[in-house]
Amino acid sequence: MSATPRLDLPFIVPGQAQKELYHNEALQVLDAVVSAAVEGTPLATPPASPSVGSCYIVGSSPTGSWSGQAGKLAAYTSGGWRFVRPFDGLSALVRSSGTTAVYRSGAWEIGKLRGSEVTVDAVKVVGPRQAAIPAPAGGSIADLEARAAIGAILAAMRAHGLIET
């Protein structure tokens, strides 16, 4: 084995010449992925004047110096572009939107949150989706305003995915 399994960081082997090159290359990759932050959503074309330290998600049909690097992280360093093959669970802050990009099942998910509940100040405010609540259907005495309000509440809850339709 000549490199680490997830990040492909090169190992230094006994008797190797110019060990510092391999070590420095590994540091460049680590700098890009540890607490990763990308500038925005995936791009197909490299920016014309990137700043050293900036990082991008390469789009699905890359061009120019990004050709053949689809889906990877592209980090701009003083030595040019470094590409990191993502692995399941790799996450990065998307600076332009403040959302998170997470690599799952071979693709980047941007702005999608996953979880089983949301808790605020030790109070569960959102949990698993519950069964559908039937809309009011009348009776012997109908209050049209109450029925309209209940219907609007149910519609809003369905639109937010809190209850089934």
Model confidence at 138: pLDDT above 80: no
The answer to whether 72 and 83 are in contact (CB under 8 A) is: yes
Q: Report the candidate in 5, 46, 11 with the shortest Cα–Cα distance to residue 25.
A: 11
pLDDT at site 139: 66
Model confidence at 140: pLDDT above 80: no
Model confidence at 70: pLDDT above 90: yes
Report pLDDT digits (tens) over 9-50.
Answer: 778 888 888 888 878 878 887 888 888 999 999 999 999 999
pLDDT at site 26: 80
The answer to whether 122 and 115 are in contact (CB under 8 A) is: no
pLDDT at site 54: 95
Q: Please compute the mean of the pLDDT values over residues 128-141 and round it to a whole number.
A: 73
When pLDDT is cut at 50, 70 and 90, the band that residue 141 belongs to is: low
Q: Please compute the mean of the pLDDT values over residues 36-65 and round it to a whole number.
A: 95
Q: Report the candidate in 54, 58, 51 with the shortest Cα–Cα distance to residue 39.
A: 54
> Domain extents for the chain?
19-110, 118-159
Who wins on pLDDT, 34 or 1? Answer: 34
Quote the tokens at residue 51: 């700043």
How far, in whole angstroms, is CA 154 from its chain's centroid? 31
Report pLDDT digits (tens) over 76-120.
Answer: 988 899 999 999 999 999 999 999 999 999 999 999 988 888 888
